[in-house]
Structure 1
């Protein structure tokens, strides 16, 4: 399933949040293998951190832009492609032709240390 949710918002990003929540819900159903969403690469938005970072794969498109066939204009902002559900190799290969592909949902969380370099004396 491919989704291109509305890019305009009422200022709070709630439309993107709702679309992304639905995409994640659908991707977890047995009847759906994968959901692919084209979105702005807005890393400052709450919806990006709440949902996009939970994707099985993210493609940060670039350098350059994706040309839209039949349109005389293209977005003036960077795009991302988020994949929820089972990611197959052919899809990863296709995404790789568009930009940098990030796999997995692991975010680095450093261990709390009391002293730099451990407890050496």
Structure 2
């Protein structure tokens, strides 16, 4: 949608907020996410990743990690094929899988580790 002065107006992004204190590491969020978005109950296809961080020896912390839709996304900046683009309707950054060459530059540049290829 175009507003006054030719400025592009985008819808407000929906962002999933996660309370890590309530995470039990069950990984159900990964399964439900992949089922909703990919039509298949497969955590590998999920847009949410539950990451296990080793703290000390046998103790660890699990944290759900997801794309934070950065204001200036480094993943988009480093992509040599411009496979990462911003949807003008929703404002969300998405990956065009047909343009992606699997170079993993986006994976390396993401400060959150939210991208997997």
TM-score bracket, shorter-length normalisation? under 0.3
Whichever of the two has the greater Rg, that structure is 1
TM-score, reference length from structure 1: 0.27
TM-score, reference length from structure 2: 0.28
